Structure 1
């Protein structure tokens, strides 16, 4: 009987301690076990993980500071053990202590740990589950805030903002209000909505205590105000950074950016601001930060429009970088932007953009934009060089033999002299003390020159010179053999039209200039060999002259498209296309050039280029594009189109090709916009092939591929084009 009583008592105690019981003893028991066996350990591990990630973060103070540290699974590997412990301990609470008052906190820690590991799907499920099941209002608020953060890290900003709208209806406590404002400001910052983000972040700052995270938010808000060109609002935040226990780098950058904004809002004289920069340069603590100081000084001059002075300071930043590739990337970028946007020196801009890409991290937000710009500029410079080169070659071809021989000799000797001087300067730079004293403000040192392999402009120029002389040669034996395909040469010369009576352009061998030869060390044999190589590139025959002109024709066409589509410079595009049409009236690109000139006109409907296009190329894709918007398609129109197409096809079947071609072209124009327009276009292609109009046939095929990407006949068009290209 006693044993039965003991068993019953134990059974009652066990039932009372069940996690599904709401009895006070059960809750107290599970609260105690959840807290001391799991939650405290999970809290400590999460706190340690947050602390370590924040301490080891990589901040780029030259780029926009994120309001919250983005989730980076590569960096969270360092705290993988802590996160694993958090997940294990919080999972125990969910499994064994479901009636504990700490359950909501356990789920928050569990979801956060999964989020930090990059497990977005499970993290979102945890936060959603907690939102719908918890009775804790604080737990629900935190779940929704972290759910919003999870969607933000997934770049699902629309869903994140929908969650934000739900949170706005809740009565948040102070801590959750602060976290909500930070998370929402982070969304708008990621979306590029800087004014909205800055305004929301300012509300969060009112609820934040003094610490380094607060300093980060102040810095980010200041940067966003700078981006939207409101320095008066940015300046107080830069100054507030200094009052919130920042690290030295953040303090340093805040001071420099504050000086820029002071200059912008006229709160300090130019002399006073320059004096502050001088003090920073002479401060021994800033010995490793001179490149940033010079960079900021360059930015100040660029904002004032003093671009030459800005370039001096940016070059000083590069000289004092000490191998800081990231800072160099932003310095190269500023140099590229100045040469591209303000100075419009595209060749130099291209070299600086290329240098930017070599130093800029590929995960940078600007990497894709800069890559596209660099690619566009590379093509632009290539075609510009073609124009200059072919003009020079054609000018040489027009010279009399004696003048041509002397000119080629001067080119070779001048090149040798330039190479010798560059080598001397490189040797001087290599021997020069790297700690040479430089004027702190003017940064002028006439004897300084960077080693050529570190100078992007010198490298780009030498690479271009090599390709112009030798072409794109692979790294292999005998790359200098004459049989290899040669490149092109770069020089400038005045056009001379005098030619001998017999019309011969063969060069006359003359004695090389003795003085020049002695300074360069070239032997007569080598000089004559180089002259012979250069002469082989000059278009002295009618065939070579036509080939040279074709290169110019293509260059004008490509430059016009680059101006129009990539640089967004319509006036330059118009003038380039006009030059193309005037210099090459029979160009194969005439239809497209007329079409683009029509679109670029102030009033396309009355443009003479429109009339010319419709008159000369009525069946072209470009003409139909202009007409398509003016055609009203009805069922009657479709019916007539089918009748005309059937008649044209019957003529084609009966081998009446000329009649069929005329009917197909008329139908293509008359029934533009109908459902069988692509059939008319394909029938026309067949008929052009039958009538032997090869060039028009090829052009029609290319236009079909461009104009009817969704046509069922696209496969056939590509097959025909492939056969044509193969032939």
Structure 2
């Protein structure tokens, strides 16, 4: 009985301790123990496992400055969703079941970390703020503040980040682990602000508190890289040597040794042979077999510093062929080849193709790839026009020849291409060695160089081609069948002249891309229509190339050459006024005879904006000129509608003379043409409109001019005029002509909605209450989407309940439908939010304020969507 009574007392105490309502010593001890080891510890372990997996899966790129924090890979987080969900459940239990324990705030912090890893930034921010404001544990509050600082930097909220840094700087008794994390986060802050000195200073402090030797080694490596880029070689060398401590990964050790040699020897040593021997030793070392491309690439950079550009290019080409484990490095190699071809040889074509190659090895969203895309945009245009000129010039020359000569040229081209492809295939399969062992191994199938005929694809392809040339495309058959085949010739397929083509297209993989004779002959422009199209393309390319060379590539002499060719070959080109103006600028820059183009513009195009410009070379330009010309334009416009046509013309002329080339120039010219329509002949009005349409780049003004021109055309001319939908135009010009909005679009019968393109619009996402609950991060994701894609648009986001079936999210304002449509397209293609179905995205729409008032009354969402699809989809 005594034993039983004692056991009962223990059980009674244990049951009483389980209660989370009674705040006694026994209860607190029980809940502290169980919440710590049954919930918090397990959740923390799972989170650390995921963080370690993110680090393990990340491939460091040691050829670039390493990032302070390893980026979080969303794919890894998604793969570990179950583990993080389990950690979230355990943390929640520690909070719900053990409310009186001292681990509640720690569990809230873990929830914030889970939200941070899963990119639920708003929830993470709330959790960190809650811990900071409620926790009595100073270390935990510091942890939460540091995590909050990292989150602010992620989101680019630098004002909040600065406030947090200032607050932490005044805190005392920050533990060493927290100081380590704080200084790393400060380095991350300075890294995002491109403050090199700030990063170095913060990492210098962080390394003092590092407990993990591998982390310390990595920070030392980053410091060495940054000191090297600052030209502080002695410091860089010291930190590279330090980074070898702590048993770092072999690849990091390799790069640390390589770069240490650079800063210690390569920039100061006169013993170039010794340096080159060092690279040779690295290349031959078996441990570096996966890093040979790195060694050759670094050797190329060294030779560039010595001024040996031909050797640098050879080494870069070799590095591109070497095997390697880092695809990004191949991108950097091609990027370097592009840089040298541009700076040393001004070879824009080679530069463009090297940059194309670089992009195949670098991810699209990588900052390096984005920079290359931006650099390549002009080069793409250059190469397009150069190659089109070369092709069309050749086609026009061939078109002047007779049919037999054309066929001969096409056949010679096919044969030359055939030989080139076979030669390339042979070079790729050349044996590495030619010793007796390879010949012996040929019959065992182990020949590394494929010297045995039936193991050598190129030799077999060459044999197939030679056989086809001699015997044609005959079927395979054994010797003994030949006699019987004599009596079956009527059923056997005849060899054809197209044997080579069929071989190229079907039987021979090497020649699969070889064109046929017929396809080559079809490209030659032999009809008047084809000749006109070819010449039209040439005319456009000569002009665009001249313009590109002058403004973007700053090759004035080449620009002049192309524009002069344009005027000589196509004296009636519609681009002649602008070509004259560009030649005027080019000749003026090079000290040539620019006055001739002033005379030509005044004689041939007295009303052109370019004539106004050359006659007033000292006229004001820039933003102030635009503002002033806008005021003058408004004054001229008001005079036009007051019927004061001469005054309008005088204002337009004086404005163009004083401010000849601004964003208002084409509007001023169109207003002057409208005056012509009031006071001059119909033919003159028509002539000026046609010239304006041909020379104007602003599509909205071109559309308006076309609508002015339509009433002046005959039935035949109208049929020949290419139909074009009107687009949004300047509001001051819309009323000057016919109603052109939404031309060719039908409004659904009986629809209460009206078209008003120029009115303020809003964007609407409609969800049911259950869908709204699922897409709980929608507002935050929209804000991030706006800050990334529309940072200067000042868009506001809100939500409201339209009825019991629909809760709507509203993004506003958009000044007109064109702006709203731009947002709609970007939203459809790129916006992502957890819990938001694709169907909801597809049903989103934009709507004018006037129409929204109608929609808010009718509540008939589908009726408006029918109207929206009819006009905008």
Pick one of 314, 339, 343 that aligns with 1:337.
339
The 8 Å contact of residues 664 and 683 in structure 1, kept in 2 or not, is answered as no
CA positional deviation for 1:582? 6.3
Cα pair distance change 1:597/1:723, threshold 3 Å: farther
Partner of 1:170: 171
Pick one of 552, 559, 572 that aligns with 2:545.
559
Cα deviation code 1:251-301 (max 9, x no counterpart): 122223333334553157322222222112221222222222222222322
Classify the secondary structure of the residue corresponding to 1:692. Answer: helix
CA positional deviation for 1:122? 0.9
The 8 Å contact of residues 152 and 160 in structure 2, kept in 1 or not, is answered as yes
Rounded to whole Å, the distance in 2 between the matches of 1:531 and 1:100 is 83
CA positional deviation for 1:126? 0.5
Cα pair distance change 1:251/1:631, threshold 3 Å: closer
Classify the secondary structure of the residue corresponding to 1:222. Answer: helix
CA positional deviation for 1:143? 0.9
Rounded to whole Å, the distance in 1 between the matches of 2:189 and 2:696 is 48
Rounded to whole Å, the distance in 1 between the matches of 2:641 and 2:123 is 61
Aligned residue runs from structure 1 range 444-455, under 5 A: none
Q: Report the more deviating stretch, 273-282 or 385-394.
A: 385-394
Cα pair distance change 1:416/1:81, threshold 3 Å: closer
Q: Report the more deviating stretch, 696-705 or 578-587.
A: 578-587
Rounded to whole Å, the distance in 2 between the matches of 1:559 and 1:302 is 32
Partner of 2:811: none
Question: Do structure 1's residue 697 and structure 2's residue 692 form an aligned pair?
Answer: yes
Rounded to whole Å, the distance in 1 between the matches of 2:609 and 2:742 is 21
Partner of 1:94: 95
Pick one of 611, 614, 639 that aligns with 1:644.
639
Question: Do structure 1's residue 711 and structure 2's residue 733 form an aligned pair?
Answer: no
Classify the secondary structure of the residue corresponding to 1:66. Answer: coil
Partner of 1:44: 45
Rounded to whole Å, the distance in 2 between the matches of 1:388 and 1:261 is 48
Cα pair distance change 1:585/1:254, threshold 3 Å: farther
Partner of 1:313: 315
Rounded to whole Å, the distance in 2 between the matches of 1:339 and 1:718 is 54
Rounded to whole Å, the distance in 1 between the matches of 2:288 and 2:417 is 39
Cα pair distance change 1:636/1:660, threshold 3 Å: closer
Aligned residue runs from structure 1 range 101-140, under 5 A: 101-140=102-141
CA positional deviation for 1:125? 0.9
Cα pair distance change 1:626/1:359, threshold 3 Å: same
CA positional deviation for 1:123? 0.8
Partner of 2:420: 422
CA positional deviation for 1:557? 2.8
Rounded to whole Å, the distance in 2 between the matches of 1:149 and 1:376 is 38
CA positional deviation for 1:115? 1.0
Partner of 2:243: 241
CA positional deviation for 1:156? 4.2
Cα pair distance change 1:249/1:667, threshold 3 Å: same
Classify the secondary structure of the residue corresponding to 1:275. Answer: helix
CA positional deviation for 1:124? 1.1
Aligned alpha-carbon RMSD (Å): 5.1
Classify the secondary structure of the residue corresponding to 1:65. Answer: coil
Pick one of 295, 298, 304 that aligns with 2:297.
295
Cα deviation code 1:541-572 (max 9, x no counterpart): 9x9888666544422332244346654x3646
Cα pair distance change 1:230/1:645, threshold 3 Å: farther
Rounded to whole Å, the distance in 2 between the matches of 1:678 and 1:254 is 60
Rounded to whole Å, the distance in 1 between the matches of 2:600 and 2:165 is 54
Partner of 1:368: 370
CA positional deviation for 1:686? 4.9
Classify the secondary structure of the residue corresponding to 1:121. Answer: helix
The 8 Å contact of residues 410 and 521 in structure 2, kept in 1 or not, is answered as no
Partner of 1:588: 574
Classify the secondary structure of the residue corresponding to 1:135. Answer: coil
Partner of 2:151: 150
Partner of 2:274: 272
The 8 Å contact of residues 242 and 251 in structure 1, kept in 2 or not, is answered as yes
Cα pair distance change 1:77/1:681, threshold 3 Å: same
CA positional deviation for 1:145? 0.8
Rounded to whole Å, the distance in 2 between the matches of 1:431 and 1:678 is 62
The 8 Å contact of residues 637 and 671 in structure 1, kept in 2 or not, is answered as no
Cα deviation code 1:341-399 (max 9, x no counterpart): 3332222222222222223222322122223334432321121233445556677799x
Higher RCO (CA 8 Å, separation ≥ 6 residues): 1
| Structure 2 residues not aligned, in runs of 5+ | 1-7, 436-456, 459-497, 499-515, 614-618, 705-727, 745-873
Aligned residue runs from structure 1 range 500-539, under 5 A: 536-537=524-525
The 8 Å contact of residues 577 and 593 in structure 1, kept in 2 or not, is answered as no
CA positional deviation for 1:146? 0.3
Cα deviation code 1:158-201 (max 9, x no counterpart): 54344333322323332222211111212332444334323322
Cα pair distance change 1:137/1:564, threshold 3 Å: farther
Partner of 2:5: none
Classify the secondary structure of the residue corresponding to 1:118. Answer: coil
Aligned residue runs from structure 1 range 651-662, under 5 A: none
The 8 Å contact of residues 184 and 200 in structure 1, kept in 2 or not, is answered as yes
Cα pair distance change 1:325/1:369, threshold 3 Å: same
Rounded to whole Å, the distance in 1 between the matches of 2:545 and 2:651 is 35
Partner of 1:506: none
The 8 Å contact of residues 16 and 26 in structure 1, kept in 2 or not, is answered as yes
**TM superposition score normalised by structure 1:** 0.69
Cα pair distance change 1:42/1:643, threshold 3 Å: closer
Cα pair distance change 1:671/1:677, threshold 3 Å: farther
Cα pair distance change 1:410/1:115, threshold 3 Å: same
**TM superposition score normalised by structure 2:** 0.59
Rounded to whole Å, the distance in 1 between the matches of 2:30 and 2:519 is 96
Rounded to whole Å, the distance in 1 between the matches of 2:669 and 2:22 is 76
Rounded to whole Å, the distance in 2 between the matches of 1:203 and 1:614 is 68
The 8 Å contact of residues 205 and 214 in structure 1, kept in 2 or not, is answered as yes
The 8 Å contact of residues 632 and 651 in structure 2, kept in 1 or not, is answered as no
Count of residue correspondences: 613
Cα pair distance change 1:146/1:631, threshold 3 Å: closer
Question: Do structure 1's residue 74 and structure 2's residue 75 form an aligned pair?
Answer: yes
Classify the secondary structure of the residue corresponding to 1:359. Answer: coil
Rounded to whole Å, the distance in 1 between the matches of 2:578 and 2:231 is 41
Q: Report the more deviating stretch, 384-393 or 616-625.
A: 616-625
Rounded to whole Å, the distance in 2 between the matches of 1:26 and 1:124 is 32
Cα pair distance change 1:347/1:153, threshold 3 Å: same
Cα deviation code 1:573-601 (max 9, x no counterpart): 86468647865676533555577789998
Cα pair distance change 1:533/1:719, threshold 3 Å: farther
Rounded to whole Å, the distance in 1 between the matches of 2:595 and 2:279 is 58
The 8 Å contact of residues 62 and 255 in structure 2, kept in 1 or not, is answered as yes
Cα pair distance change 1:385/1:280, threshold 3 Å: same
Partner of 2:512: none
The 8 Å contact of residues 330 and 358 in structure 2, kept in 1 or not, is answered as yes
Rounded to whole Å, the distance in 2 between the matches of 1:136 and 1:259 is 48
